[in-house]
Amino acid sequence: MATTFSYKIQSLNRETVDGYVFGGGYTVKAHDGTYESGAYGNIEFERPQSLIPFASLQEDTVIGWIKDKLGAEAIANIEKQLQARLDEQIAPTQATGLPWDENESASPA
C-alpha cells in the first residue's frame, strides 16, 4: 500500500487583541495501512495584510500556511524521513536482544 502523509494542527498561538495567529504546533503522520510514523514541529507566521477572524479559521487553511512557510524542499525532506522510519519498521536493519534469551524461549528447559 502507498504511504499517506497527513498534517494536523495541534495548537495555535494568537494575539488576543485582534486574533492574529503568529505561530503554532503541527504534526505530520505517515501511514501505509499497517505501520505509522510521525513528527511534530513548531512554526511562526508573518503578520498578513488582512486577518481572517480567529473563529473563522479552518484547519486546512492553517495547514496551507504551514506548507507555504516550509516550502516544497522541507516538506519533501520531512516526508522522506518519515518514509525511512516506516521502511525500518517494515524491514528492520537493527535489533536489540540477547542470544541466550532468544534461544531459551525456543528450547525446552
pLDDT tens digits, one per residue of 48-107: 989 999 999 999 999 999 999 999 999 999 999 999 999 999 999 999 999 997 655 554
d(C-alpha 37, C-alpha 82), whole Å: 6
Is the pTM higher than 0.85? no
d(C-alpha 74, C-alpha 80), whole Å: 10
80 vs 108, more confident? 80
Q: Binning pLDDT at 50, 70 and 90, where does residue 41 land?
A: very high
Q: Give the structural domain span for 39.
A: 4-106
Total number of domains constituting the chain: 1
